[in-house]
Each structure stands twice: as structure tokens, then as C-alpha cells.
Amino acid sequence: MNYRVVDADSIDPAPDRPSDCRKLAEPAGLTAVALNRFRAAPGEQLPLAYHLHETQEEAFYVLSGTLSVETPDRTYAVGPDELIAVAPGNPQRAYNPADATEDVVVLAIGAPAVDGDAVPYDPTDA
């Protein structure tokens, strides 16, 4: 049997990210799923850019604060203990609005765990 307890705060933040991103999958020994904990201050976004994934499903579970998720059709407000799921091929940009009064803390889950399937999305091209 194999078990691992991972303290997210003990993981160094991923470099060059617009918010604090702790990549938890590798320290936990997970290979089939990407697992990240984000902490975004007011005005910070979670991903590097507005994007879509070609093959990966994503789910964002809000631990505290309110996450805004911009899509081509609308912007969702996702509160504590709520989850938003994004199917492959659907553009999104997750962020903490500039007028927020607190950080937003989110557990982001993606499967399969793939690199290089994120495609930038420009809403002005739609």
C-alpha cells in the first residue's frame, strides 16, 4: 500500500505564475491527474492566460473567497464549497476580481494529467 500526506504550504510556488500556485500531484505521487492549490489576491488570475484545453477536463473547487470564471458567454461567480467544471474545448479564465475584499483559495483538478494541451484563447477573435 502507498499513502502520502502532502502539506501544500511546504511546496514551493510554481515560478512565473500570476498567482500563488502549489503543484501537488507530483509530491503526492499522482500521475493520472493534475492537482494544484491556487491562492489569488484581488486582481490576480489563476491561469497564465485566457485558454482552453484540448483534452483535459478541469474542475475548480473553491475553498475560500469567490472565484470568477470568465467564459465567452458569461462570467460565473463560484463561492466557497462550490465547484465549477470545464469540459475540454471550452475557453475560460479564472481570476479573483480586483474589487474583491479577500484572497480566493482554489483546488484545481485536471485529468488526464497532460502537458502542452492548453491553447490560448482570444475572445476578440470569436
Domains of the chain: 23-120 (2.60.120.10)
Q: How confident is the model at residue 126 (pLDDT cuts 50, 70, 90)?
A: low
CA geometry: angle 82, 94, 25, nearest 5 deg: 75
What is the pLDDT, as a whole number, of residue 13?
96
**40-90 per-position pLDDT tens digit:** 999 999 988 899 999 999 999 999 999 999 999 999 999 999 999 999 999
Q: What global pTM score does this model have?
A: 0.93
CA dist., res. 92 & res. 111, Å (int): 16
DSSP letter assigned to residue 26: H
> CA triplet 46, 51, 55: central angle to 5 degrees?
110
